[in-house]
Amino acid sequence: MSTFLSTYWTWLLLALVIAGIAALAYVYREPILAYARESKSELYKVVWPTRKEAFQLTIIVLITVILSAILLGLADFLYEKLFGLIFG
């Protein structure tokens, strides 16, 4: 019996949350629709990169990430050795 009640209250709570979200969406439907329309119109203004530009930018990002990882790893190694000499 308690399983039934807990399941019942869980579903009731879920139904109330869904109803609340639907009510808010109904009340604020005009601002939501205006935001969606404005977002769509802004997406038409975006100048997307060409395939070549996207490839070049991806290579730049990968090189930057790899160099950053190497520098951070080197700094970590040097600090580890330095603190090992000082405190070890």
Q: What are the pLDDT digits (tens) for 27-59?
A: 999 998 999 999 999 999 999 999 999 999 999
My answer on whether 1 and 41 are in the same domain is yes
My answer on whether 26 and 54 are in the same domain is no
My answer on whether 52 and 28 are in the same domain is no
* Domain range enclosing 10: 1-46
Single out the residue in 15, 31, 46 at which a domain terminates: 46
Nearest alpha carbon to residue 50 among 62, 38, 58, 41: 58
Q: What's the confidence (pLDDT) of residue 57? A: 98
Number of domains in the chain: 2
| Contact call for residues 41 and 33 (beta carbons, < 8 A) | no
My answer on whether 32 and 6 are in the same domain is yes
Residues above pLDDT 90, as percent of the chain: 81
